[in-house]
Amino acid sequence: MKTTALVLLAAAAALACAGARADVFPKESLIRNDRHDVAGGHGTVYGEYAFTRDKALKDQAIKEVSWLRLEPGDSIGYHPHVTNEDVYVIVSGEGVFKDKDGKDKPVKAGDVAIVRKGESHGIANTGKVPLVFVDVIAEQ
């Protein structure tokens, strides 16, 4: 317990010394960007972004954070991540995540799916209600 507290304190001090800051992106300020037939998928990806890749600074690892929604039957096509990694945190609904090996894996609320640099992935809503997930894109 003491070790954890010391590590957290050291991390906070390092961030303060580096001039890092925490940001909050209220829901009302999120950037709405709906995209159609993403990466060869079907339908619309409804998105609300804290910020998009073009707004992230070069030295910031997190390049994009968003809430995404797929309606039943809609999908994001199977696509590669050449320079970055992608994390989906499933908030509600259910679907199928196509992993780096092209295998379909069922996903539901509470699941986390990750694709690393150089790997591919896709996702489809196979349920009867919207599939909602948080998407975090990071790059080293």
39: left (phi over 0), alpha (psi -120 to 50) or beta: left
Q: Please report, for the chain, the start and end positions of each structural domain, with discontinuous segments joined by +.
A: 23-138
State how far the alpha carbon of 5 is from the alpha carbons of 8, 15, 21, 44, in Å: 5, 15, 20, 44
What's the CATH architecture for 23-138?
Answer: Sandwich (2.60)
Residue of 25, 27, 32 lying closest to 48 (CA atoms): 32
Question: Over the stretch 76-111, which tens digit does the pLDDT of each residue have?
Answer: 999 999 999 999 999 999 999 999 999 999 999 999
- Tell me the average pLDDT across 54-76: 96
22 pLDDT tier (thresholds 50, 70, 90): confident
Phi, psi of 92 (to 5 degrees): -155, 160
Query: Could you tell me which residues come within 8 angstroms of residue 136 by beta carbon, excluding any fewer than 6 positions away?
Result: 62, 64, 65, 86, 87, 89
